[in-house]
A and B are shown apart, each in its own frame.
Chain A
Amino acid sequence: MKSITFLLFALILSFSACKEQAAEKNSCCSTKPAMAQKTSGGMPETSLYQLNQQWKNQNGEPVQLSDFKGSPVVMTMIFTHCEYACPMMVNDLKMVEDQFTEKHQNVKFVLISFDHERDTPDRLLEYAKTQQLGENWVLLHGHAGKVKELAMVLDISYEQLENGAFAHANKKFVLNAQGELVFSQEGLQTKAEPVLKALNKLL
């Protein structure tokens, strides 16, 4: 059952994400066509890097999302006290990394935490160590409002539960060098190939 549901989600996602731009351009009712092609501040309007937010990485350094401009990014949202889904998602991403070659050296993995209270930069650093995440992995901490805005942009449903944990959708994304969302995948224990394929198109 579970695997079916995963499949279902992956399907929904692949349709909604991959086809969305096309659908909006063809919309019967669009009164302002060609909006998606507009750029602003040297970036496409649909770029995630339009989010003008300050975050802190696992070393406590200030980071803006637009700092990742210039190379492809694999992005997901997690929290470190998560016992089940998040470790699996991180593992899924490691499987992707395992198949990296020379040309992938500039690809960054960006994990953003849902948990602004407990996932301090220190805690994130500790997590990166226990998970044996390399230099190209960036873990971000930010206030609840930023987390929510980012989740809205990524269309990730989540909710904090009474015990402090988060219920959340399990989604992984590939952003191009301009910060535009070009691929998404939903579910756990997903295959690495589609992510690699999406990345290779960008390289």
Chain B
Amino acid sequence: MKTKNFFYIIILLLAVSGYSCTEQQPERTIVDAEQEVKGHVRAVLTDAPQVPPRITNKSNTKVIVELEVIEKQMRLADGVEYTFWTFGGQVPGKFIRVRQGDLVEFHLHNHPDNMLPHNIDLHAVTGPGGGAEASLIAPGKSAQFSFRALNQGLYVYHCATAPVGMHIANGMYGLILVEPLEGLPPVDHEFYVMQGEFYTSGSYGEKGHQDFDMQKAIDEHPDYVVMNGAVGASSGENAMMVQVGETVRLFMGNGGPNLVSSFHAIGEIFDKVYVEGGSLINHDVQTTLIPAGGSAIVEFKCEVPGTLHLVDHSIFRAFNKGALAQIKVVGDENHNVYTGKEKEEVYLPEGSAIQTISQNKTQKSTKPIAEKSFEERMEAGESLYKQNCMACHMDHGNGIAGTFPPLVNSDFLQARDDKGIGIILNGLQGEITVKGTNYNNIMPAVSLSDDQVASILTYIHNKFENDGGLVKAADVDSWRKQQ
């Protein structure tokens, strides 16, 4: 009896879990490949970050896709050129959008000026090589093949001509979306972003035309990891633009050839992720993995203004190799969602004293140093200022209003008998007033030699419209001795 009860519980649990699954996940649609298609349309193709319009057709049709392979030299980063091999003239290749059950008549053209044969392997194809064998063409030739878009999803396509890795590494990849029969739910914006890495003869940023480096590719050591084919291709002034309150759907692909992307949007949570571009939907995701030769569809609503940074969260790729795209969200603040900085104040744990930047106290040398001339002090002072002071007081010496006091024409500095020597050697804390503005912050003591302090102060007194004059190392020395 007991076993029987247990058994029922298991059944019940299974049923419940099954039920909840079917409720969350839409049922997969299987299309009938024998079904007739009606009429034909020419596919609209777009370059990233644009996406072709949503499909409004209510029945399956024949979609004619014309894609041209073009080898061309383009910008990889500022001052860096690369010979890209492209599907349609840009990296990534043209975005293709069809509907599940459509018959796709694919025409691949290899431009006659190209050096090499090319073909295409579309992951959306059910058939040998994804169309690769059927589409291999010499320069100046066209190939045609047709396939039925049996499965819905977001699929990568790429060139599969030997050496396959090299063709992909040179930029031969793109995305094809097979929309489900019922279509994707409407959103305000759809964008196309694709990550890919480049292996160049020179290291990151090296100017001039860069050749492909096969050894780096085999070692999987890219110099560039970029979004949409070049550093800055979809950031800065090329950033995607949306309004506060709008919904965004990103068709995100990874061409590789080697790296897996830890795709993340700094400042946003993905409300919905079509995992790996398929029909499994996950919610509330921070970072989603996109395999090389794979994709993901992510959706989110932009609730507050600001810039979203789309990055590969293998984060050196974003900051040091270019893996960054941006969405600029403009509109009104919503403090119920995010306030921005409300308050900033001094934080002093109990018992702490002013810290010196370096604990090394060996500078207290009494050994006399040959005094520098005014010109020598100014020159040394400039570089010392940049190393020690500029981070807060800024290059121009104006500081940051309300946080770091200005040094330019500073009444506070000029009123001091010590010319400021005490501030540098001991640091400063507590409220002060400079040029009519109150500051309440901490400046740590800076551990410098007498000679260095003299140079910095000479520089500050003369460069920033103060009272001028020459501060000597001997002045600093005698000030120390008075303490």
Which A residues lie at the B interface, using CB under 8 A? 7-8, 11-12, 15-16, 19, 22-24, 26-29
Contact = CB atoms under 8 A, between A and B. Distances in A.
B133 A8 contact: yes
A24 B143 CA distance: 8
A135 to B, nearest CB: 39
A26 B142 contact: yes
B145 A15 contact: yes
B128 to A, nearest CB: 4
Contacts of A8: 128, 133
B107 A29 contact: no
Interface residues of B, number: 15
B133 A12 contact: yes
Contacts of A28: 68, 109, 111, 142
B144 A27 contact: no
A17 to B, nearest CB: 11
Interface in B200-256: none
B127 A24 contact: no
Contacts of B68: 28
A32 to B, nearest CB: 12
B379 to A, nearest CB: 65
A27 B144 CA distance: 10
B28 to A, nearest CB: 26
A11 B107 contact: no
B133 to A, nearest CB: 5
A22 B145 CA distance: 11
Contacts of B107: 23, 26
Contacts, number: 39
A15 B129 CA distance: 14
A28 B142 CA distance: 8
Q: 3 smallest A-B Cβ distances: which pairs?
A: A8-B128, A15-B134, A29-B112
A19 B68 CA distance: 18
A27 B109 CA distance: 8
A15 to B, nearest CB: 5
Given A11-B127, A11-B134, A29-B112, A22 B144 contact: yes
Nearest to B139: A29
16 contacts: A7-B128, A8-B133, A12-B128, A15-B134, A15-B145, A16-B143, A19-B145, A23-B142, A27-B140, A27-B142, A28-B109, A28-B111, A29-B109, A29-B111, A29-B112, A29-B140
Contacts of A16: 134, 143
Contacts of A24: 142
A23 B136 CA distance: 13
Contacts of A22: 144
Interface string B274-314: 00000000000000000000000000000000000000000
Contacts of A12: 128, 133-134
Nearest to B145: A15
A11 B128 contact: yes
Contacts of A27: 109, 140-142
A56 to B, nearest CB: 35
Nearest to A16: B134
A40 to B, nearest CB: 23
Contacts of B144: 15, 19, 22-23
Nearest to A29: B112
A23 B144 CA distance: 7
A24 B111 CA distance: 13
A159 to B, nearest CB: 20
A8 B133 CA distance: 9
Contacts of B141: 23, 27
A22 B105 CA distance: 13
Contacts of A7: 128
A29 to B, nearest CB: 5
Contacts of A11: 127-128, 133-134
A117 B141 CA distance: 37
A22 B107 CA distance: 11
A30 to B, nearest CB: 9
Contacts of A15: 134, 143-145
A23 B112 CA distance: 15
Contacts of A19: 144-145
Contacts of A26: 107, 142
A29 B114 CA distance: 12
Given A8-B128, A24-B142, A28-B109, 16 more contacts: A8-B133, A11-B128, A11-B133, A15-B143, A15-B145, A19-B144, A22-B144, A23-B107, A23-B143, A23-B144, A27-B109, A27-B140, A27-B141, A27-B142, A28-B68, A29-B109
B280 to A, nearest CB: 29
A123 B142 CA distance: 43
Interface in B64-123: 68, 107, 109, 111-112
Nearest to A11: B128
B122 to A, nearest CB: 15
A122 B142 CA distance: 45
A16 B133 CA distance: 10
Nearest to A14: B134
Contacts of B134: 11-12, 15-16
A7 B129 CA distance: 13
A29 B145 CA distance: 19
Contacts of B145: 15, 19
Interface string B373-404: 00000000000000000000000000000000
B274 to A, nearest CB: 31
Nearest to B109: A28
